[in-house]
Amino acid sequence: MSAGRAQQAILHKIVVAATAAALAAGCAANPNSASGPDPEASSASSGAAPAAHAAGSEQPRPLPAGRPVVPPQVARLAGLMPLRSTGVETFRQRYPAYDGRGVLIAVLDGGIDPSVPGLRTTTTGERKLADLRDFSGEGRIPLAPLPWEGRDTVEIARYRLRGFARVAHWAGPPFYAGMLRERALGSSRAADINGDGDRDDEIPVVVARASDGWFLITDTNGDGSLDDESPIYDYAQAAQTLSFGTGPLGVAVNLSAVEGRPLLDLFFDNASHGTHVAGIAAGHDLFGLPGFDGIAPGAQVLGLKIADNSWGKISVSGSMAEALEYAAAYAERRRMPLVVNLSYGVGNGREGTAAVDSLLDAFALAHPDVLVVVSAGNDGPGLSTVGSPASAELVLSVCALVPGVFARAPEPGVAPPPDVVGWWSARGGELAKPDLCAPGVAYSNVPPWRTGEEIAGGTSQAAPHVAGLAALLQSGLLQQGRRARAIDLERALSATAVPLAGISVLDQGAGVPNLPEAFQWLSAGHQAGIYRVRALPDGGNSSLSTAAYRRAGLLGPADTLQRFLISTAGGQPAARLLLSADAPWLRAPAAVEFRGEPAVVSLTYDRARLRAPGIYTGSVWARTATDTLAGWVLRLTNTIVVPYRLEQPLSETRSLAPGSTDRLFLAVPEGAGGLHVALHVLSGRGAMLHLFEPSGQPSRAGSSLELGGADSTGSLEVPGEDLTAGVYEAAVSAPPSSAITYRLTAAAPSVAVRSIGTGPSAVLAVTGPESVAVRVRAQVAGAARVYEVRGRGSPGDIRVPVPDWADYAMLDISVTEELWQQVTDIGVRVQDGRGRELSDRPMDYAFDRRRIELDSLSRGQNLTVALRPAFARRAEPARWRAQVRVSFLPPQPLPLAILGMGAVAEVTLTPDQEMGLQLSPLPGAFRPLDGYAALVEVIAEPRSGPPARRRAAVWPAPVSP
């Protein structure tokens, strides 16, 4: 998942505020500390890498010396590694030895840099990185036999290496050689692996076998000789690392053998995400600063690389499953408790149906002692936006808080603001998720090439916080001679969590963990059962929903019943659950009995209390009758949306507390001409407007915008071709540091452009009961063509010629929902004819839209658009297909006349009648490429209210002379 532009902009502001806060706190606490970053150091950036995917690409450049965004000493004093809100500081003061020692945290991500100081040792002096394994294949170096005739110099491809006699002294033949190619490492600065300012180098490597196993040797300093090089063994064997020249990466080696021939994988973090995550979960003496720790500094880390960062941080087919099984087997061999962190996810198509969700649920059932913690996703604040695999039922999904220290610079005599839920953090709806909320912005270690970007935010940063909490709990129990099952850790954290006031379970789950209380819960001997919940398909619920969600409201007078099916797993004994509802419109029975069979619980809704437009959320909480002090064991979550009808324009003026969100649901009928939502900030320091489609996916036409201070305005529009009938959600978020007053307006146009056809021509109609006078104009907005991409497990690509008149290209990429359910993600690469990366952001949903800027170097060349599905399981289907709609748009559209009416037609449309308009032939200046259709746009502007607009691709008619 990737941060949108508006989110990245606000995260940048968080970094700036955090920098000011850190410097002020640091200087107040230590007058001798540095007054700020060196003015020549790189400027602060958003550091926005909130999930395993990050947006954008950059061209490599020589690496600067660089300094952190704020000095680590200052960051520590300012609390930029947030520990207080979840009780970590109190817990570690009370139990200093319960610091994660004896526990493994597996970080499944894009790699971990073994060279950073905070990931070298635990608090007890053990190796912090217990093992590093690459399951992504990104670091695989193909090897071939290397002939050797006893000479001191060998040739590998076109490179000559001296000093080979020294290698032969350690090991006899056969020898193997391969090439490490920088070009294969993607477009980030990290691809310049030897730090010489380009990413075109090829570095020969040699693999041989000594008496103590396979080793690698290579020319790390680029002097053409192996005389001054040392053998590097598999990381699990010797914990050795290497780097190339002045390069930015610490590299570990994975060596194995198949049928006597070696396999070589180089393990590195060329994304920085995994290194940042690992520092939060378990960093010790971060940046070499004693006492600057992550959550569980005593824990050891398994770094398991599942993502190919050269493809925009996508996992690869089967890598997640293989890494999970490797982690479980590793922990079992060493008899160590294991916590898995998965800061990864993509958008849900149909919640609960993804193959990766089933995979994780099966893993959880097969390994009941392993807690799997997953980031909830960054598509909030819309409802029903929790991503996959956080939607898996038996994982612990985590939403993100913005810690108060990051909200604004400190003011004398003013307490820091409270933590608030991050506006980007995914919310529940069809799912009874997220489970917990934890700090989602932190200052943590990054690889050297990311220096200056130590602050990053997203649910990716919240998940390792909770993984660290679980490791602390398990560590404490371990030293008492006990262990907890995964479900007991989850229940301890959830049952004792502290809800944030004024927001629902859809935003925060159970709330914010309270670590000392969770440990007391476990120490008291409470044990949790594994309960699985399904909302039965009453009122239109999905058959796999874990919560009841009526997005379009109640269906009719008889729609007052909601049934839930509750089942158990793990061979639990019979139990009696006591039930209580927390909303006045929600009624539940007093108890439900379990006698080894699934039970159905019937709830009823009071329709009289569900009439006014708005959102109604209520839960039924269940406790076991035999242990009521254990807190709740499951919840039955219900959400009823009563949408606004847009027969008349909507205008709402409201106030929002800092960091809070308002939601307005808008029913858009079939045949509407579009949707227009506008925000006017009346007071405060700005706001964000978000728009979500009826499916819950961020609007493809433009999903969010950021506004500045008071009296700022902005709008989001959905044109006719992008409109889906159903209930849209408009959400307004206040910044964490400021209350706001705002006015939101929403309207559907009173007219619709029903269709655009050949000729070209257009059909218009009124959408309401009254006649409407409109001004109509038309234009050629560009040219479009649909391509089909096919593959057989491996990447598939198309080559697209770029016309010399195009200013930018718009790519609409779509796959079937059936394919989307089988993948963990789909990588997308767009390159121009010179090999420059124009986009490497993966797909977030089964439909993905991206804008590609074109320049003089791209025009007249071919674009290569490549797709790479990563399937949840290693067994890939024989074939897959995707569609890519390519639209090229010029700097200015070409106007079309309306025949008989001129450049602008003024017409009156009456109800129950459609009007057809004939447009002038396409102008001779318009020269689409072969196979492309003209992209014609028609705009109908009523005298009042928003315009209706639609674009469609039509095959060219004869052009005018």
Going by the DSSP 8-state scheme, the letter that residue 260 receives in this structure is T
pLDDT per position as a tens digit, 419-464:
999 999 999 999 999 999 999 999 999 999 999 999 999 999 999 9
Q: Are 947 and 939 in contact (CB under 8 A)?
A: yes
Higher local confidence (pLDDT), 516 or 259: 516
- pLDDT for 535 equals 95
Query: What pLDDT band is residue 13 in, cutting at 50, 70 and 90?
Result: low
Q: What's the average model confidence in pLDDT over 259-263?
A: 94
Answer whether residue 212 shows pLDDT above 60.
yes
Specify burial of residue 607 (Cβ count, 10 A radius: 0-12, 13-18, 19+).
Answer: middle
- pLDDT for 60 equals 33
Query: What pLDDT band is residue 595 in, cutting at 50, 70 and 90?
Result: confident
pLDDT per position as a tens digit, 541-555:
877 789 999 999 998
Q: What's the average model confidence in pLDDT over 86-96?
A: 97
Share of the chain above pLDDT 90, in %: 77
User: Could you tell me the two tokens for 412?
Assistant: 């004398």
Q: What's the average model confidence in pLDDT over 250-268?
A: 96
Query: pTM score > 0.85 for this model?
Result: yes
- pLDDT for 18 equals 59
- pLDDT for 473 equals 98
Distance CA 683, CA 740 (A): 5
* Alpha carbon 366 to chain centroid, angstroms: 27
User: How does 798-808 read in b/e, with b if 16+ C-beta sit within 10 Å?
Assistant: bebebbebbeb
Query: What pLDDT band is residue 603 in, cutting at 50, 70 and 90?
Result: very high
Higher local confidence (pLDDT), 324 or 595: 324
Answer whether residue 639 shows pLDDT above 50.
yes
pLDDT per position as a tens digit, 778-833:
999 999 999 999 987 778 999 999 999 999 999 999 999 999 999 999 999 999 98
- pLDDT for 835 equals 85
Residues 6+ apart with CB under 8 A from 935: 780, 781, 782, 783, 784, 887, 889, 951, 952, 953
pLDDT per position as a tens digit, 379-435:
999 999 999 999 999 999 999 999 999 887 666 777 778 999 999 999 999 999 999
pLDDT per position as a tens digit, 214-252:
999 999 999 999 999 999 999 999 999 999 998 888 999
Query: What pLDDT band is residue 184 in, cutting at 50, 70 and 90?
Result: confident
- Tokens 């990366």 correspond to 837
Instruction: Give the least confident one: 652-656, 707-711, 815-819, 922-926.
Output: 922-926
- pLDDT for 11 equals 58
- pLDDT for 55 equals 27
User: How does 423-433 read in b/e, with b if 16+ C-beta sit within 10 Å?
Assistant: bbbbbbbbbbb
- pLDDT for 377 equals 96
Query: What pLDDT band is residue 286 in, cutting at 50, 70 and 90?
Result: very high
Q: What's the average model confidence in pLDDT over 844-856?
A: 94
Mean model confidence pLDDT for the chain: 90
Peptide bond into 174 cis (omega under 30): yes
pLDDT per position as a tens digit, 23-65:
555 444 332 322 222 222 222 222 333 233 322 233 333 334 4
Answer whether residue 168 shows pLDDT above 80.
yes
Residue among 582, 591, 732 at smallest CA distance from 655: 732
pLDDT per position as a tens digit, 470-516:
999 999 999 999 999 999 999 999 999 999 999 999 999 999 999 99
- pLDDT for 57 equals 30
Q: What's the average model confidence in pLDDT over 853-878?
A: 87
- pLDDT for 307 equals 95
